[in-house]
Amino acid sequence: MNSPAISLSTEQLQQAAQLLATLRGEMAKAVIGQQAVIDEVLIALLADAHVLIEGVPGLGKTLLVKALARTFAGETRRIQFTPDLMPSDVVGHTLFDAATARFVTRQGPVFTHLLLADEINRAPAKTQAALLEAMQEKQVTLEGSTSRLPQPFMVLATQNPIEQEGTYPLPEAQLDRFLLKIRIDYPSEQEEIALTRQVTSAKTGADLDVEAVATLLQPAAVVELQQWAAHVTLDERVLAYAVAIVRGSRDTPGLASGAGPRGPIALVRAARARALIGGRGFATPDDVKAVALPALRHRVTPTAEAEIEGMTADDLLRSLLERVPAPRL
């Protein structure tokens, strides 16, 4: 049953904007640069969704998760996906305890607030699929018994875009469960200087930490912010614009396949979250356009000819956004 529509007050919008701006600042203390990445992860968190993070090793993906968890006193766990990883290593298992003569359920690392699924494409499809129920239903079923996951619950999965040996492509059904596909690029020269200085300044080891990140809220407050984001007003013209973009992807030259029905849903959810970050109680066409690339790049497939010509999914989506007229509100 859907919750009744509510209208966010000016005080609520100001409170959310100030809190989220402070939260961004706290995360930036640990994650040098990558402001766009931080914003997109926050959008996914507010939309109560999951993200697929693509980037070469060493760009701070683990640090990003730890910093986000610290801001709201959330639990975080990490699973290193490998070819021999079993589904039970993800969701848990049931075993017989001889001492008590009864079966005992051992919960897996998926029972947490933020789950870092590192190099998710290195595990076979059976293990990747173990995450599907958790991602979609926010629950895990073991031996016929269903257990709810903590709230908020968010999967942040990573994959290396360069090294493909020994990897398994993510099934389309699982790719579709990620609201956004985020790309982490190399930092700028000044950011890399600041990063190097921070790591090597009177410290042993070579890793950044999150000690400087302050805890601003509790998990229950994040759930409340997610409710606020879900009630951001959406004009019918903005909704139609999101649908038009996705429908346009299905007959765009250079795209072998366009986005499915989850595409416009992802655009709307992400646009609402972006509006709340901006302190607005309504989503605009600019919100939709701003989230279009991360929300759709993993839902479309360029043709072989387009790839030979050096065209990426992002390039083709940008040309699509230029062709689809945005409504004037």
pLDDT in tens, 259-276: 999 999 999 999 999 999
Average pLDDT value for residue range 203-221: 76
Give residue 34's pLDDT: 83
What was the pLDDT predicted at 262?
92
Cα-Cα-Cα-Cα torsion 274, 280, 282, 283, nearest 10 degrees, comes to -30
Sort 154 into a burial class: Cβ within 10 Å, 0-12 / 13-18 / 19+.
buried
Residue 316 in any domain: the answer is no
Find the range with the poorest average confidence among 5-14, 117-126, 194-203, 245-254. Answer: 194-203
Instruction: Kindly indicate the confidence band of residue 189, based on its pLDDT and cuts at 50, 70 and 90.
Output: confident
Phi-psi region of 11 (alpha: psi -120 to 50; beta: other; left: phi over 0): alpha
Instruction: Flag whether 167 is in a domain.
Output: yes
Predicted confidence at residue 50, as pLDDT, reads: 95
Q: How far apart are CA 80 and CA 278, in angstroms?
A: 35
Alpha helical stretches, state H, 47-124: 61-71, 87-91
Q: Which two tokens stand for residue 155?
A: 């999967």
User: Which helix or strand (DSSP H or E) is residue 102 part of?
Assistant: strand 102-107
Domain count, the chain: 1
Q: In the predicted model, is pLDDT for residue 209 greater than 80?
A: no
Mean pLDDT on 162-187: 79
Instruction: Please state, in angstroms and rounded to a whole number, the distance separating the CA atoms of residues 181 and 159.
Output: 10
pLDDT range class, residue 129, cuts 50, 70, 90: confident
β-partners of residue 117 are 79, 157
Q: What does DSSP say about strands 76-80 and 114-118: parallel, antiparallel, or unpaired?
A: parallel
Is 92 a domain residue? yes
Query: In this structure, is residue 172 part of a structural domain?
Result: yes
Residue with the bigger pLDDT between 70 and 105: it is 70
Phi, psi (rounded to 5 degrees) for 9: -80, 165
- Is there a contact between 280 and 13 (Cβ–Cβ < 8 Å)? yes
Q: Which helix (H) or strand (E) covers residue 76, if one does?
A: strand 76-80
∠ CA 279-234-220, rounded to 5°: 55
For residue 204, is pLDDT > 60? no
State the pLDDT confidence band at 278, using cuts at 50, 70 and 90. very high
pLDDT of res. 1: 41
The pLDDT of residue 141 is: 82
The answer to whether residue 309 sits within a structural domain is no
Per the DSSP assignment, residues forming a β-bridge with 301 are 257
pLDDT of residue 57: 72
What is the mean predicted confidence (pLDDT) over 296-301?
93
Domain range for 69 is 34-215
Specify the pLDDT at position 7.
81
- Do the domain assignments include residue 248? no
Asked if residue 160 has pLDDT above 70, the reply is: yes
Q: Is 211 within a domain?
A: yes
Short-list 310, 242, 245, 303, CA closest to 274 = 242
* Whole-number Å distance between alpha carbons of 318 and 312: 10
Domain containing 65 — which CATH number?
A: 3.40.50.300
Can you give the pLDDT at residue 111?
94
User: What is the predicted pLDDT for the residue at 165?
Assistant: 61
- How far apart are alpha carbons 259 and 274 in whole angstroms? 21
Lowest-pLDDT range, 73-82, 116-125, 186-195, 238-247?
Answer: 186-195
- Whether residue 78 lies inside any domain: the answer is yes
The DSSP bridge pattern shows strands 92-97 and 102-107 to be antiparallel
Across the range 181-186, mean pLDDT stands at: 88
- Average the pLDDT over 38-67 and give the result: 88
* pLDDT above 50 for 206: no
Average model confidence (pLDDT) across the chain = 87
As a whole number of angstroms, the distance between CA 271 and CA 292 comes to 9
Decide if pLDDT at 202 tops 60: no
Q: Is 92 helix (H, G, I), strand (E, B) or coil?
A: strand
Judged against a pLDDT cut of 60, whether residue 320 lies above it is answered with yes
Return the ∠ at Cα 179 (arms to 266 and 312), rounded to 5°: 95
**Residue 219 confidence (pLDDT) above 90:** yes
Residues of the chain above pLDDT 90, percent: 54
188: exposed, middle or buried (Cβ count in 10 Å: 0-12, 13-18, 19+)? exposed
Q: What is the pLDDT of residue 326?
A: 93
* Mean pLDDT for the stretch of residues 177-203: 81
Distances (CA, A) of 100 to 95, 96, 108, 215: 12, 9, 21, 41
